[in-house]
Every structure is written in C-alpha cells, then in structure tokens.
Amino acid sequence: MKNRDTILVTGGTGFVGIHIILQLLQKEYKVKTTIRNLNRKREVFEMLKNGGITSFDNLEFFETDLIKDDNWDEAVKDCKYVLHVSSPFPSGEPKNEDELIIPAREGALRVLKAARNAGVKRVVLTSSFAAIGYSIDPKSHVFTEKDWTDPNTNIPAYIKSKTLAERSAWDFIRNEGGNLELTVINPVGIFGPVLGKDFSSSIKMIEQLMNGKMKSTPKISFGIVDVRDVADIHIKAMTNPKANGQRFLATSDGTASFPEVAKILKTQKNKFSQRITKKVMPNWIVRFASLFKPEFKSVSAQVGKVKILSNEKAKQVLNWKPRSREVVITDTAASLIKFGIIK
C-alpha cells in the first residue's frame, strides 16, 4: 500500500540520513531530502541502489545549508513530517567550538521555523547521547532520557554543540512552536552496514582494527547502536502519538569496549581477522598521550569508565527492538569488506 505522506529528511548523503531514506522508500513514502551540493545526487542514488532501491520516482532533492535560509521553505512545503538528521560532525576537535555550535544550533532552529510555518505535524530531531551522558559520574548511575549534559562544563565542542542544539530546539517548541510537535532521538555510537564510501566516523574505528592500523586497544567503553535501528526508531517516533514531546535514548543492550570489539571481529574467520590486535593499551599510556595529542584528551577522560545505559523507554513506548552488539559489529565488518573499504 502506497503511503501518501511526504517526509523531509535533512542530510541525505549522511550515514543515518541515507538509511532513513532507504527505509522510507521501502515503505513507499514520498521523500524529499536536503543536501549541501546537488552534485552529490549521484552518490545518494548509488547508495540507495546498494540498499536495493530500483526506482527513484518518490525522491526529490533540495540544495540547502544549515547556516543559510535558502530553499528551506521549499524543502518543507507539503511535508507532514520532517526528520532533521543533518548536523556537523568533525573528524577532530575544531580550533573554535563555534564552528560546530553555530551550524548545529542555527540549523535546528532554521528547520523548526520552516516546519512550523509550513504546518508540518512533527519534527523528529537527531540529537545524541552526547546531550545526555557527559556531566554525571557514571559510577552506579543508569543513564536515561531524564539526564542532560551540562554545556557549561569542560566538554569537547561536538558534545557541547549537540547539547545546545537540542536545548534550543525544546526552547523553541515551548516558546514559539505553535502546533508543531517535536520528538528527539539520542543515539550512542552508530555502527552497522555501510552503503558506500560515506559513513559515520565511529566506523573508522572498525576499519582501523581490520586493516591493522590500531596496534593496541584502549580500555574505553561506549554504547553501540545499528544504523538500521536508528533509522527504524526515527520512523517509529515520527508516527507514534505517544512520542510527541519525548526524547529516546537509542542504544543496543549493554556497552562495548575497544578490546571487546576487537574480540568480536577476531571471531570472524576471514583473511582480515589475523590483522586484528589482541593487545590492550595500558590506561596510563592513553592519559600520557593526551598531554601531547589534543585528540586524545576527550578519549582519556573516558578511560576505565563504564556507562550503564537504558533503552527501556524506546522499547516500551515505540516497541523498538535493537540488534545485538555482536550482529552490529559483524555486519559492519562484512559491509566494509563488501565495498572494498578494507583491502
């Protein structure tokens, strides 16, 4: 049965954006998507083909930028729902935190204003666990959607940008949102099968393990979630009446550490598994390295800390069923081999 609703997905070339578009097209929605440069349309078609899409009749593109007003009104026109996924994600720490904070916050507000003015029913905003889990001592604390990162503490720019962008979105809805509804998804580290050469920076870690560039693994734990489940939770949150005004922590059951990920990859009997290190990096080395390498600073702060994360709310309210971390990691690895990213 054909879905008559039109959905806007921002950031169509991104790892999460492309998986959401794929699932929406499979469900026969009419999809609009924004990309920063229309020259990248071919990449989007290519990735969707890799995901099994054969017709692009239900897909329309708009060229937009998070820090410019151009084309946003046109992009949201006639849309029932907007999934605002697009947000700057750096490979390293920027010289000035505003390089991330301004486009993240302004972009969210730009999309919300355009959506409100166009009579959109609901915006689902992709935030992050970054906006939840970086101000509370994780010792014996279970992180839920009730927790907030304090942006006034000493935190990396990306974490601050996600926190401030989400805070601004809720403030907007409260003060000037009109009839517009808002739901927020807060994913942890996003892994899962790539559809081409463009994928999330968290997957670089698996790539480095598989090509042998990571010689030893730090004892750092993190939440893991599959990109297919992140796409699924956005779509469930989009239509579920109970999701209005709620945020949802999107994570698989339990966290994983770098050494555990290496162990799971090692069990895959392929020609790459012997490259994967068994060595574990002592904590003091990670902390020592952070004195000389700024990119290690945010990493060293997490050494030895294990965060307990709850996905109960998403399971109960949205009937969401995330894949296990073993499936997430092995499917990620298989896709990196399939697309020749690991040689």
Non-local CB neighbours of 177 within 8 Å, separated by 6+ positions: 112, 116
Non-local CB neighbours of 282 within 8 Å, separated by 6+ positions: none
Please tell me the CATH code under which domain 6-199+225-252+306-323 is placed. Answer: 3.40.50.720
List the alpha helices (DSSP H) in the chain. Answer: 15-26, 41-50, 72-76, 98-117, 157-176, 203-210, 227-239, 258-266, 283-290, 297-300, 312-318, 325-338
State whether residue 151 is helix, strand or coil.
coil
pTM, two decimal places: 0.94
Cα–Cα distance list, 160 to 115, 151, 180, 187, 324 (Å): 25, 5, 25, 15, 29
What are 68-87's pLDDT values in tens digits?
999 999 999 999 999 999 98
Domain ranges of the chain: 6-199+225-252+306-323
What are 280-338's pLDDT values in tens digits?
888 777 677 766 666 566 666 677 778 999 999 999 999 999 999 999 999 999 999 99
What are 125-180's pLDDT values in tens digits?
999 999 999 998 888 899 999 999 999 998 888 899 999 999 999 999 999 999 99
